[in-house]
Chains A and B, each alone.
Chain A
């Protein structure tokens, strides 16, 4: 190795710490950046887990609503009572549960479909 330096401004033992300091700064900057990226990646992973959990919950929901749809089909086979004038009455929604569960309840065919979960209609499948 050729050494051109004959009279350097700083001897090696003094200059070494500055050179080491400069390169350590460089490495530290990259390390800090990588650490921040790792934290963000961890956060994103947690969100993915959360999303998977929500999806699993949604997958369970149609199964439940599938069972209730069978019940809904049974009620749909009955003579259509929804077009009766009293079924369109807004006051009808305020009927007590026992009244709605009565065999001739006007919304008897619709109610089971709402049991699908999370207050969403069972037919609403954006999956």
Chain B
């Protein structure tokens, strides 16, 4: 069995350092935006959360492909944890974006804004992932069906992103574009550090959760080997994969 705790301490320190540096840059170094002023500082947490969340969904889809290709249920576990983490980050992105919208537009939510609504659709779609898993009792089927779901939904994420980008009617700011975007140097640097910090946080928490799940599974296996099957209660029905 792989050990996910390896290098976790170093990664945690690196993550913490990067986030502290990012917050320092955001609040003490980067200049205020000319039009939005102080409120623009939400951008440095909202956008990285949203980007990392969407990338995490795609990552979960890639791991699901690996699961179906190899039949190795550890990939199913990795995919499950990646999607679970992405959902948490996505909720963070949604709430911080809503706070920015209230400050900037005067509304918590604008229904005719494609970026917001499309992100919500993606989030709601993935919100069904865990109940979907829970509804399937057989672990083998649960893993396969969930992988198919993760692949289809993972493919939908970039398509959705492209569709929104191609839409003409929008009021959501477009800060990052293929031509370089509208960010001046210090803002770009701060944003990059924030993005790296949030991405590292995602990886760290993913590894933490994988290590915890792995430890639980190993303990169960150990218990079974030491005390025999009769001494174990039957495993409770769970949305999480069982190895």
Chain B CB within 10 A, most for which of A1, A5, A55, A120: A5
DSSP class of A's interface residues: helix, strand, loop or mixed? helix
Do B95 and A25 have beta carbons less than 8 Å apart?
A: yes
- Which residues on the A side are within 8 Å of B219 (C-beta)? 44, 47-48, 51
Mark B180-219 against chain A: 1 for CB-CB distance below 8 A, else 0: 0000100000000000000001000100110010011001
Q: How large is the interface on A (under 10, 10 to 19, 20 to 34, 35 or more residues)?
A: 35 or more
A4 contacts partner chain B, Cβ-Cβ < 8 Å: yes
Complex partner residue of B36 from A3, A9, A14, A40, CB under 8 angstroms: A9
Given contacts A51-B223, A55-B226, contact A9 B29 (CB under 8 A): no
Stretch with Cβ within 8 A of A (4 or more), from B39-47, B152-160, B164-172: B39-47
Do A22 and B33 have beta carbons less than 8 Å apart?
A: no
Given contacts A44-B215, A51-B222, A51-B223, contact A5 B96 (CB under 8 A): no
Mark B42-60 against chain A: 1 for CB-CB distance below 8 A, else 0: 1001100100000000000
- Which residues on the A side are within 8 Å of B42 (C-beta)? 18-19, 22
Closest to A127 in B: B226
Do A15 and B103 have beta carbons less than 8 Å apart?
A: yes
DSSP class of B's interface residues: helix, strand, loop or mixed? helix
Given contacts A37-B208, A126-B225, contact A9 B92 (CB under 8 A): no
Do B226 and A37 have beta carbons less than 8 Å apart?
A: no
Do B39 and A5 have beta carbons less than 8 Å apart?
A: no
Chain A CB within 10 A, most for which of B32, B88, B228: B32
Excluding A18-B103, A41-B212, A126-B225, 14 further A-B contacts by CB distance (< 8 Å) are A9-B36, A9-B39, A10-B39, A14-B103, A18-B39, A18-B100, A19-B39, A22-B46, A25-B92, A25-B99, A40-B212, A47-B219, A54-B223, A58-B226
Pull 26 A–B residue pairs with CB atoms less than 8 Å apart, ordered by A.
A4-B31, A5-B34, A5-B38, A7-B34, A7-B35, A9-B37, A9-B103, A10-B39, A10-B104, A15-B38, A18-B39, A18-B102, A18-B103, A19-B39, A21-B99, A22-B100, A26-B92, A29-B91, A33-B205, A41-B212, A47-B219, A47-B223, A48-B219, A51-B227, A120-B228, A127-B226
